Amino acid sequence: MKPLNDKLKLIAKRIDYANLAFVALATTYLLYGLLYIIRTSIVLDGQRTFALFDDGMISMRYARNLAGGHGLVWNPGGERVEGFSNPLWVFFMALIHLLPLPTHLMSLPVQLSGLLFLFLNLWIIYKITGLVSRSPLVQLLSVFLTAFCYSLNTWGLQGMEVSALTLLVSLAVWRTLLALQAGHFSAWPYLILGLGTLLRIDAAVPYMTILGFSLLFQPKYWKQHLAWGLVLLTGFMFGQILLRYWYFDYPLPNTYYLKLGGVPLIVRLRQGFNIFATFVWSSGWYLMFLPVPLLLLRATRGTLLLGGMFLAQVAYSIYVGGDSWDHQGGANRFLAISIPFFFILFVLSLDFFRTILLEQHRRPTNSLLSQAVLAIIVATSLFSFNTINVQNSRARLLLRETPIFVSGTHRYVRLAQVLANISRPQASIAVVAAGNTPYFYEANYIDLLGKNDTYIAHLPIITTHGYHDEFYEFQPGHVKWDLAYSIGVLMPDIVAQLPVSSAEAQQYLDEYQRVAIEDFTIFLRRGSENIRWEEVTE
């Protein structure tokens, strides 16, 4: 028996319990993510249908048209407009559309891909934390907060490019830290984030952050950093600009002109700062500021890089005035890609305070009790970091309630069914939500809010408030429309949604008949041959 016991002891010594714990945690996340994806689906006529966040479905419509040979257009045969800001993600979606899948399942591979990217990101976060901390517990707790970050899962598992971009940003940070630790130059961060600019052009923000950090902390290789960093960024950025000029006639995505064009900088800055301050307050300001003493008293190159990456995204979010959905709370799409770095700093700061207290009382710093307390504090902080401005935010985090945004997604899918019943495919339909409804019912659509309309995107913003007299709150991408043009000139057969109340829009609807179908109010152009009037019941 003694030889057997000796062998067991030897095996036990060789087991890396931290890695086993990571595997268990990551596996739990995979199961959580799968359940999350199922919770986003809807059963229609006995058929389970998967659909993405509405902006993601705009990209899906472009991808389907590209895969179908129509080109990068929103409407087959329509004007070339870059109504998306994630070209590489659209090409990825186009590849998925080559699979022999029915429409109701086509979004599922996108969601599963998002889950895979976020899963891989957990491993990279685990490795990054291992480079800035010797504590396996700090590594695991940082991964825990990242895995169950509701905002990151919302954007990643509901089909946005955030999942892939988060992975690329984390990879770039990891490679940067490895190069710093080894004391050599690496071009990998620039190659990785150069690819990231194809996912979303504002990946240039973390790109420039890493470039600036590397110039500061690797002065020995400043020539290589400048040469590789600036040349690659210039190539990626100007390459995209030239392609856009050639294909779309504009140097930047249409969404850029829609969201930033005509919005004064002071308005964006004031709203962006207000949104970030609200995010900090709702997440627990005392928790959000915990990393500050760590960065001031025991900063390392690694922690400074993590803090710089997070603050760069904060600054960018403030600069653009926040995101379109900040009123729902949580980290927006700009903050989400760097929120894992904040979580690492947060756990590190708690461990820093724990160590100081134990040293002052002359206790061993590897005390199991103190580590258990640390784990409990981090676990309970998860709920503060995941507070959103909807009912039952904790129940949504635990997936006892439908995830945020999903009820709207389901409504837009149902609207597609209603439109399919009352119209013919050649009908023109005006919508506000330009993703799910146009994807699930193929017709010729008019985008009232201008994501897919260059005329609307270049209009001045609509507001009844003075810029200088009072704070003007706006929802980026939802403050430009021209009903006299979209309805009065283009004359859609159906107005399925409106950006204003029907009373405000009434002057443009004299030629339309208002009908209520299920829980939708729809306006039908009188005499249109593209409407199945026999199916319309008031």
pLDDT in tens, 106-141: 999 999 999 999 999 999 999 999 999 999 999 999
Of the three residues 397, 426, 442, the one that is the final residue of a domain is 397
Q: Are residues 239 and 129 in the same domain?
A: yes
Does residue 363 form part of some domain? Answer: yes
Alpha-carbon distance of 143 to 170, in angstroms, equals 12
Does residue 87 form part of some domain? Answer: no
Alpha-carbon distance of 179 to 186, in angstroms, equals 6
Does residue 42 form part of some domain? Answer: no
Q: Are residues 112 and 182 in the same domain?
A: yes
Give the model's pLDDT for residue 394.
Answer: 82
Q: Are residues 350 and 420 in the same domain?
A: no
Give the model's pLDDT for residue 10.
Answer: 46
Does residue 94 form part of some domain? Answer: no
Render pLDDT for 209-240 as a digit per residue (tens, 0 to 9).
Answer: 999 999 999 999 999 999 999 999 999 999 99
The H or E element containing residue 167 is helix 162-182
> Has residue 92 got a pLDDT over 50?
yes
> Has residue 377 got a pLDDT over 50?
yes
Q: Are residues 351 and 480 in the same domain?
A: no
Of the three residues 374, 397, 420, the one that is the final residue of a domain is 397
Q: Say how many domains are in the chain.
A: 2
| CB neighbour class for 181 (10 Å; exposed up to 12, middle 13-18, buried from 19) | exposed
> Has residue 478 got a pLDDT over 80?
yes
Does residue 312 form part of some domain? Answer: yes
> Has residue 398 got a pLDDT over 90?
no
Sole residue written with tokens 């190159």: 301
How many other CB atoms sit within 10 Å of the CB of residue 418?
A: 18
Can you list the alpha helix ranges (DSSP code H) found in 48-148?
54-67, 87-96, 107-132, 136-147
Please give the residue range of the domain that contains residue 450: 406-535
Render pLDDT for 499-522 as a digit per residue (tens, 0 to 9).
Answer: 999 889 999 999 999 999 999 999
Render pLDDT for 16-38 as a digit per residue (tens, 0 to 9).
Answer: 788 899 999 999 999 999 999 99
Of the three residues 357, 378, 397, the one that is the final residue of a domain is 397
Q: Where are the beta strands (DSSP E) in 292-385?
A: none
Q: Are residues 136 and 245 in the same domain?
A: yes
Mean pLDDT over 73-94 rounds to: 96
